[in-house]
Structure 1
Amino acid sequence: MNDQHVILLVEDNSIDEELTMRALRMSHIANKVVVARDGAAALDYLFARGDYVGRDARELPQVVLLDLKLPKIDGLDVLRAIRADERTSHVPVVILTSSKEDPDVLGGYEFGANSYIVKPVDFTQFADAVRQLGIYWLVLNQRPPTIA
């Protein structure tokens, strides 16, 4: 499987995970979704370590949907690690969180998020936001060439 078509969903809340998966299905986004339920698992996936040893670390997801409030390693620290490594520094990262707090928004952009989206409470609005995310990041956005 070519991971360039994978969505990495980093989400510890099972309800938000299911809502995101449902919204992706409703939007006819058929990309494979890899779910990491904490920040450490997200980094393990990206860098092919831990449970993901043997995965080709050069094959990166099309987009990372990143929650901020995560166990083990929080979302901003995950973002810092992604941007600090030349192998992953260009992977699009969309923060998808319930936090509207200014320090979180500012931190997200300071550490290199491509976009910051506050999860709408209403499922219809959430599904529409996910549909728009899919159209932009999976169809319209041109990725940089892969670094060998």
Structure 2
Amino acid sequence: MAIVELLNQDMKQAMKARDKEKLSVIRMVKASMQNEAIKLQKDALSEEEELTVLARELKQRKDSLHEFKEAGREDLVSNLETEIDIIQAYMPEQLSDDELEKIVVQTIEEVQAQSKKDMGKVMSALMPKVKGKAEGSRVNQLVQKNLS
């Protein structure tokens, strides 16, 4: 089932349950997806494009969460944690460190990378394979570790 369809179903349930927080987050995510579709001049996004939007929304909130924690804004931290949990539910299951390590090593062998100079080649081949299943910073660290 497409992510948009799932969001629509959950939005109806949140309306019926009068869950304002969940409803608000779902509406924000749907608006972001609609904006992306308009930007790309499409009627509907592909599943990969939907995942890209979800990942971007999640990353924005995680970055904000980090900033709010540093500033001591606990009132905003709890709201963001709730939003992150709601968005995380629509993301595919994250790869374990072992699974990610195997994919990284396999990709390094595929592109025949020798040193950290080949980092760009490895990352460009690797990111489409793990899109939505692993954070870029985590992938970057593993690639650096395996290239040194």
Taking structure 1 as the reference length, the TM-score comes to: 0.32
Higher fraction of helix: 2
Higher fraction of strand: 1
Instruction: Considering Cα pairs closer than 8 Å and 6+ residues apart, tell me whether 1 or 2 has the greater RCO.
Output: 1
